[in-house]
Amino acid sequence: MRKLHVVICTAVLVMLGTIGQSQVMAQDLESPTTDLVLFFSNIDQPPVETPAPDTLIVTERSGPVTITTDVTSAGVNGEIDTDRSLPGATMVLTVKLLSLTEFTISGVITFDDAQQSTIKFESVGNGFFEEAPSIINGIPFLRGAYMARITEATGQFAGMVGIVTDNLWLDVSRPGLNNAIGFEVVTIRMAPSGF
């Protein structure tokens, strides 16, 4: 039993030493990337516009987000709270539907900063929706995702290039995608052009 205790203590000390070393090394290196994670929703926006039968224009807002997670013997429960009164950014998407499960997308995110900074992007390849909704707490949600490249950045992000990834959930309890309530987690990774 004593040997096991010594081995465990030694392993913990080695791990702590390695973690401390990696923190020092990470502080010594300057990263040229800027990473953002934003939560968008059109829950308080009017239904999306439909300029053509196969095209949707969606306006969504992002504000301060609080994510609460409870881990109990019954499982893991999560709750997302958003402050809709203080939008940090607005995203306008143009979604071109290719089929019931595939689409292309272009968009612009305008930040609520002094420079009204923007990030414009276009999808790389096709985005996708799952074929049938998943029922979550009695509500049918259609899940989807896409990846995009940044085509232009202005304001505080001027000269940056990078990628946008988006995981989305659409509440499709009302008929038609143009009536769906969307929830999206958007991840943006940028670096200076030429890096």
CA distance 95 to 48: 10
- Helices in the chain by DSSP H: which ranges? 2-28
pLDDT band at 66 (very low <50, low <70, confident <90, very high): low
The amino acid at residue 24 is V
CA distance 123 to 23: 35
The amino acid at residue 52 is A
State how far the alpha carbon of 127 is from the alpha carbons of 115, 160, 164, 165, in Å.
Answer: 31, 23, 12, 10
Domain ranges of the chain: 1-30, 32-192
Q: Which of 2-6, 92-96, 160-164, 167-171 has the lowest mean pLDDT?
A: 2-6
Q: Which CATH architecture has domain 32-192?
A: Beta Barrel (2.40)
98 pLDDT above the threshold of 70: yes
Per-residue model confidence as pLDDT tens digits over 20-65: 434 434 444 455 788 888 889 998 888 888 888 899 999 998 865 6
Tokens of 39: 């939560």
pLDDT band at 168 (very low <50, low <70, confident <90, very high): very high
Q: For residue 129, which of 142, 117, 140 has the smallest C-alpha distance?
A: 142
What is the pLDDT, as a whole number, of residue 155? 94
